[in-house]
A and B are shown apart, each in its own frame.
Chain A
Amino acid sequence: EVQLVESGGGLVQPGRSLRLSCAASGFTFDDYAMHWVRQAPGKGLEWISSISWKSGSTGYADSVKGRFTISRDNAKNSLYLQMNSLRTEDTALYYCAKDVSFGSAWYFDSWGQGTLVTVSS
């Protein structure tokens, strides 16, 4: 069974940094692209970043480009999101999501439970 467990969320002041982690199990992690998707309280889904299966390719939404960095450690079956220069509008539940296909298809068949990031002074 696929399991994705996010951690690292919390309350942080504007301008500060936070690093999210996602521990994966139940599938061959390095065979799949991975993604971060967020959901602000009471709002819809927003894709923010993706990384290919061997980290050769990454992508970011304009809203986080230059501030957030996605990475993965295939030896540890883990996905990360380094978030710098946080803004109040980054407040959201951050989901780790697994790509559907061997390699990458850019849509998601498994989601973690999410980790809440609150940016506030």
Chain B
Amino acid sequence: DIQMTQSPSSLSASVGDRVTITCRASQGISNYLAWYQQKPGKIPKLLIYAASTLQSGVPSRFSGGGSGTDFTLTISSLQPEDVATYYCQQYDSAPLTFGGGTKVEIK
């Protein structure tokens, strides 16, 4: 099974800060990586797929990068509505696996 490791597990940043979350796969997954945002008490929402392609309707302050084993999700200017837990998910091979999540809070 491919293990997905996210870091940090939580972070606190100020409004307007640039925030970067890292996701590492235990083996190469090409660009078969998606990112989801889950706001408190809400269902997950797809943000990015194919490692760097923004899902329709997602604000452009979100961006994704990487390939192989190392990936990033960047919020270029953190907004209050971005408070959420973010998950990466690999879809290179079964079983599909998620990272443990990164909780983003406002300082």
| Given A59-B95, A62-B95, A107-B89: A45 and B44 interface contact (C-beta under 8 Å) | yes
Tell me whether A47 and B87 are in contact (CB under 8 A).
no
B-side contacts of A62, CB under 8 Å: 1, 95
Q: Complex: how many Å from CA A104 to CA B49? A: 14
Q: Is the CB of A45 within 8 A of B46?
A: no
A44 near B94 with CB under 8 A, answer no
Convert B40-62 into 0s and 1s, putting 1 for each residue whose CB lies closer than 8 angstroms to a CB of A. 00011110010000010000000
- Does B71 make an interface contact (CB < 8 A)? no
**A-chain residues with CB within 8 Å of residue B100 when the two chains form the complex:** 44
Stretch of A21-29, A72-80, A111-119 that contacts chain B? A111-119
Q: How many A-B residue pairs have CB under 8 A?
A: 56
Chain A residues near B38 (CB, 8 Å)? 45
Of A44, A47, A95, A113, the residue contacting B96 (CB under 8 A) is: A47
**Are B46's CB and A106's CB within 8 A?**
no
How many interface residues does A have (CB within 8 Å)?
A: 21
B49: contacting residue among A35, A100, A111, CB under 8 A: A100
- Checking B46, B49, B87 against A44 with a beta-carbon cut-off of 8 angstroms, the contacting residue is B87
> Cα distance A47–B1 when bound, in Å?
12
Query: Which positions in B face A, CB cutoff 8 Å?
Result: 1, 34, 36, 38, 43-46, 49, 55, 85, 87, 89, 91, 94-101
What 10 A-B pairs have minimum CB-CB distances, sorted nearest first?
A106-B91, A47-B96, A107-B34, A111-B43, A45-B98, A44-B101, A107-B91, A59-B94, A109-B46, A61-B95
**20 contacting pairs across A/B (C-beta < 8 A):** A44-B87, A44-B101, A45-B87, A45-B89, A47-B89, A47-B95, A47-B96, A61-B95, A95-B44, A105-B49, A106-B94, A106-B96, A107-B34, A107-B46, A107-B49, A107-B89, A108-B36, A108-B44, A109-B55, A111-B43
Question: Which positions in A face B, CB cutoff 8 Å?
Answer: 35, 44-47, 50, 59-62, 95, 100, 105-109, 111-114
